[in-house]
Structure 1
Amino acid sequence: MTATTLWLIRHGETAWNAIGRMQGHTDIPLNETGLEQADLLGRQLQKDNAQAHFAALYVSDLARARQTAQPGSHAIGLAMELDPQLRERNYGIYEGLTREQIAEQYPEGFAHIKARTPDYQIPEGESLVQFSARTLDVLGRLANKHPDQQILVVAHGGILDCAYRAATGIGLEVPRGHALLNASINRLSFEDGHFRLLSWGDVAHLDPGILE
């Protein structure tokens, strides 16, 4: 069995990102900063493709991921293959709310969110256990289609988080100490059912002003 290299990319910034609203499955487009990030990302992927020779481009079907992937898709001549299993965690009744609003309106639920209770299922949404299982299943499935190749996956912060934890052995309940940056490039290998971290949080392709 040969390893697959996954280039995991978080979507660019949205208006809800900027003010801290839970997005989940809510279909929010990129804001102006996010569109600039997508263009800069596309230019970087065009350079990388000369050496990496990407075999496929898989993208969450939500608008913010599709808009982030579009410039790169055009630049390297790879069609976007949309997969709804690459969506962000379903935050159910909390979508559209800030953490402060959740704490005020749903204090018991917020306590579980803050504590990262793995099996706490958000009403009308997913638990961390369910979300992680979905994430690792889809990433493993896509990787197994491309042994000894490199693939691009444009998705969401939660998807990246689950992949990072799987690669490093960090439990779902452990507070996050790793970055999940908009339009960042994060690389993992997948072999024999196991993820391994290669590089993380690369935003060198973004202008410092845009990143701020």
Structure 2
Amino acid sequence: MVNIYLVRHGKTMFNTIGRAQGWSDTPLTRDGEIGITELGLGLAAKNVKFDYAFSSDSGRTIQTMHFILKYSENEGIPYEMDKRIREWCFGSLDGGYDGELFNGVLPRTDAYKGKSPEDLTYEDIAKGILEVDTAGWAEPWEVLSKRILDGFFDAAKKAEANGAENIVIVSHGMTIATFIKLLDRRRPRFQGLDNGSVTHLTYSDGNFAIGKIGDMSYRELGREILNAE
């Protein structure tokens, strides 16, 4: 069985000012770097040893992984980047303000018509983005959902085939939330994963099991360690 520590990247410039980052990219802020340092120190204090590391190919996840491996004392392990576990692409609205995208433009699309925010599915959101994208970059739901599933499943399969016990994956807020929903369609759609949070999964013989989502205990432990120095 493979234990998976699925991490949302550290806080970035766009996260801080409320822009939809998507396939655009900004670096971690100083606070973001501190947050992931906390995460790494918390993992080290719990003596978590990773066998493999995976991230998307976005700069913010690569930067996050560097901090995790350094401060959790896991440097030098095999590390792969996979564009399939990138964030959603918001098309021509990539980099726009969250409020304008999610509260302004998308609610006026046909995909949202007649639905309350609570009733919206990730498929509805993907259709809305596709509807308003003028650049032709946004992904149809079928493409988006398949590349997310394929990316995470292939990482887990590779880890299992190589006898890994613990792996770390750094990805993105909406991508992680979408993956959890695809694994268990009975779960409500959720938002609000904190930067540097850990979502726990296990993988065995082709199946994922979902543990605690958005665990902040490692960061909290790391913060105590930093403050004590």
TM range (shorter): 0.7 to 0.9
Task: Tell me which residue corresponds to 1:203.
Answer: 216
Return the TM-score normalized by structure 2. Answer: 0.76
Task: Tell me which residue corresponds to 2:170.
Answer: 154
User: Which of these residues, 50, 54, 59, is aligned with residue 63 of structure 1?
Assistant: 59
User: Which of these residues, 181, 188, 195, is aligned with residue 182 of structure 1?
Assistant: 195
Alignment of 1:64-83 (within 5 A): 64-74=60-70, 75-77=73-75, 78-83=77-82
Taking the aligned partners of 1:15 and 1:101, their CA distance within structure 2 comes to 18
Aligned residue type for 1:67: Q
Taking the aligned partners of 2:144 and 2:23, their CA distance within structure 1 comes to 12
Q: 1:25 to 1:63 in 2, by over 3 A?
A: same
Look at both structures and tell me which one has the larger radius of gyration over its CA atoms: 2
Is 1:163 the equivalent of 2:179? yes
Q: 1:205 to 1:117 in 2, by over 3 A?
A: closer
| Structure 1: 5+ residue stretches without partners | none
Aligned residue type for 1:151: I
Following TM superposition, by how much is the alpha carbon of 1:117 offset from its aligned partner in structure 2, in angstroms?
5.7
Taking the aligned partners of 1:34 and 1:46, their CA distance within structure 2 comes to 19
Alignment of 1:13-32 (within 5 A): 13-32=11-30
Is 1:94 the equivalent of 2:93? yes
* Secondary structure, aligned partner of 2:159: coil
Is 1:116 the equivalent of 2:121? yes
- Would you say the 8 A contact 2:4–2:202 is kept in 1? yes
Taking the aligned partners of 1:93 and 1:108, their CA distance within structure 2 comes to 15
* Secondary structure, aligned partner of 1:33: helix
Identity %: 25
Taking the aligned partners of 1:9 and 1:129, their CA distance within structure 2 comes to 24
- Would you say the 8 A contact 1:86–1:138 is kept in 2? yes
CA RMSD of aligned residues (A): 2.7
Question: Greater share of helix residues, 1 or 2?
Answer: 2
| Structure 2: 5+ residue stretches without partners | 224-229
Aligned residue type for 2:146: A
- Would you say the 8 A contact 2:89–2:139 is kept in 1? yes
Task: Tell me which residue corresponds to 1:144.
Answer: 157
